[in-house]
Amino acid sequence: MTVTFPLTGEPLALDLLNTRTAAGDLVAEPAGLADWLAEQAGRLTPVEAVGAAEVAAVRAVREAARAALDAVRVGERPPPDALRALNAALAAAPAHRELAWTVEAGLTAVPCRDAAPAERLAAELAEAVAELLTDPRVTSVRACEAQDCVLLFLPAHPRRRWCVASACGNRARVARYYARHKEEHA
């Protein structure tokens, strides 16, 4: 099974939140989560095998992130339960840096988390959520204006109204066109 994700390339925390669409939960099963992780290649430490534990961990972080972001976007205090869940995910797999030498890159300091895959994945995602929640641009996060869309994005341009202009934007323009022409012929 290959899942198509309607919007990726936003900050990692928003990409995570956008796995719950109007059509349903795209990471409710291990195959869907594996597909999403493949889409996020290079942004997260690879997970060799995705199972129920990884799905549960990701969904728990996503639910806490949604509650926290909904509050912070409008300048309110995040729910204490959401902050507890995010902090627990961060604490379960603390990061440290390890120095490594390769001929190609020279000396590097690579982030490392000693934890089970589900805990490591949850911690990395919780860290991305923490970065978004503390970013001054968090109040600029917008919901797509399309009636049947629930996706979030961080607009690079202040006039951006849709998650994907070629999808939601086109549907909105076509709907307005038909509404105008229906009125003219009525």
pTM score of the predicted model = 0.86
pLDDT in the model for residue 30:
97
> Residue 4: left (phi > 0), alpha (psi -120 to 50), or beta?
beta
**CA angle at residue 58 from 64 to 93, to 5 degrees?**
90
In whole angstroms, give the CA distance from residue 79 to residue 115: 27
Better-predicted residue by pLDDT, 28 or 7: 28
Better-predicted residue by pLDDT, 185 or 127: 127
Q: Is the pLDDT of residue 64 over 70?
A: yes
Spell out the residues 6+ positions from residue 130 whose beta carbon is closer than 8 angstroms to its own. Answer: 86, 90
* DSSP per-residue codes, 54-122: HHHHHHHHHHHHHHHHHHHHTTPPPPHHHHHHHHHHHHHS-EEEEEEEETTTEEEEEEEE-S-HHHHHH
Report the pLDDT averaged over residues 104-116: 91
How many residues in total does the chain contain?
186
In the chain, % of residues over pLDDT 70: 90
Q: What is the mean pLDDT of the chain?
A: 91
Report the pLDDT averaged over residues 87-105: 94
As a whole number of angstroms, the longest Cα–Cα distance in the chain is 73
CATH code for residues 12-140: 1.10.3300.10
Domain boundaries, the chain: 12-140
Report the pLDDT averaged over residues 122-138: 97
Is the torsion defined by CA of 156, 157, 162, 167 positive or negative?
negative
> DSSP label at 137?
G
* 115-119, 142-146, 159-163, 173-177: range with highest mean pLDDT: 115-119
Report the pLDDT averaged over residues 84-97: 95
